[in-house]
Amino acid sequence: MNFGISDADVVMISIPAGLDPDLLRSFVLVAEGGSVTRAAARVGRTQSAVSMQMRRLEEALGQPLLLRGPKGLSPTPHGVWLLDRARRLLAMHDEIVTNFRSPEISGHVRLGCPDDYALLWLPPILARFAEAHPAAEVEVVCLPSTALLHCFDKGELDLTLFSAGNEAPGVQAETLWRGPLRWVGPAARPMHLVRPLPLVLCHTGCTWRVAATNALGKAGMPWRMAYSSASQTGTHAVVLAGLGVTVGLSVALPAGLRLLSPEDGMPDLPELEIALLQHPGAAAAALADHIRAGFGEQSGFSARAA
């Protein structure tokens, strides 16, 4: 989709030689978060400095890139075109810098990741980390977010991915991805029409479970907890058996499952954030850099592309 941008327009917004990656990084953060203030906090600059960066970028490219709306700033069609390419360019830029500046990494690094995300994001990240640091050994621990955060607090993990909202108040984590939760049901049976709605979700307190039950409560839709599982594999197995509905991301669904929508009578769900925490250490820092680059490259999985 080119959003009506002609070849002439593409030429006009081609990235000039020498364009500062910091401008693109700030633009990506503003476009994703809809706020100059939030972007400024992420890059450690003042709000006025980031606003100046956006003006410089628009002047350099000759096109407006951001528009202010009722929900904050959003990219123009030219901004959408640039956003995708800026993410990929920054991922490559960060990978190059990391590979040349990082010291030789060896030893054991322990990475936590909910199984909901492991197959979707980790394979290319781990492959590139292994290529850059062949002497390092990575241990991947797949548990629910609350369990991973507990392990991280006890020092049993060097870094962990988790669903934001599970962390304790005051914990400052780095957001890597933001996208929508979606209802998921069996393709062969209309379980979303059953009342009370049979839910297949994780443990009490899971942010996905809270989001689902809150949405149903606001919509006045009766529900019951039919099955629970500590892993997405478990919830998918139950839904594939035609025994209920669950929630998940809008990508990489197993055959036999389908996304449910408001047209199916399902209420909207909030956005999900995937966040990162890391302890100090060369191996953890190096792996975190590869994780950031990997999420930047795979940003096509985000809400704005789903």
Identify the architecture of domain 102-179+272-301 in CATH. 3-Layer(aba) Sandwich (3.40)
Position 203 pLDDT exceeds 80: no
Q: What is the pLDDT of residue 301?
A: 44
Question: Among 143, 131, 161, which residue's Cα sits nearest to residue 284?
Answer: 161
- Pure H helices in 143-281: 145-153, 207-219, 232-240
Q: What does the pLDDT average to over 172-198?
A: 93
In the chain, which ranges are continuous DSSP H helix?
A: 7-12, 21-33, 36-43, 47-61, 77-101, 115-132, 145-153, 207-219, 232-240, 282-297
**E strand intervals along 154-260:** 159-163, 174-180, 182-186, 197-201, 223-228, 246-248, 257-260
| CA dihedral angle for residue 164, residue 165, residue 167, residue 168, rounded to 10 degrees | 150
Residue 13 pLDDT > 70: no
Q: What integer is the mean pLDDT of 55-71?
A: 90
Q: What is the mean pLDDT of residues 133-157?
A: 93
| pLDDT range class, residue 299, cuts 50, 70, 90 | low
Give the type of residue at 273: E
- Per-chain mean pLDDT for the chain: 86
Q: Kindly report, as residue ranges, where domains of CATH 3.40.190.10 are found in the chain.
A: 102-179+272-301, 182-269
What's the pLDDT at 202?
85
Residue 262 near residue 160, CB atoms below 8 Å? no
Q: Regarding the domain delimited by 7-99, which CATH topology (the fold level of the hierarchy) does it fall under?
A: Arc Repressor Mutant, subunit A (1.10.10)
Model's pTM, two decimal places?
Answer: 0.64
For CATH 1.10.10.10, the residue range(s) in the chain are 7-99
Q: How far apart are CA 212 and CA 248, in angstroms?
A: 10
The string of pLDDT tens digits covering residues 95-126 is 777 767 656 778 899 999 998 888 888 999 99
Bond preceding residue 196 cis, omega within 30 of 0: yes
Which residue type does 243 have?
A: L
CB of 152 closer than 8 Å to CB of 112: yes
State CA 207 to chain mean position distance: 15
- Contact at 8 Å (CB) between 90 and 21? yes
Report how far residue 69's alpha carbon sits from residue 289's, in angstroms, rounded to the nearest whole number: 33
Cα–Cα distance for residue pair 50/44, rounded to 1 Å: 10
Alpha helices, DSSP H only, in 241-281? none
* pLDDT of 303 strictly over 70: no
User: Tokens 């960066």 sit at which residue?
Assistant: 53
What is the distance between the alpha carbons of residues 62 and 303, in angstroms, rounded to a whole number?
28
HEC string of 145-156 equals HHHHHHHHHCCC
Any idea which fold 182-269 has?
D-Maltodextrin-Binding Protein; domain 2 (3.40.190)
**Amino acid of residue 106:** S
- What is the rounded CA–CA span in Å between residue 256 and residue 269? 22
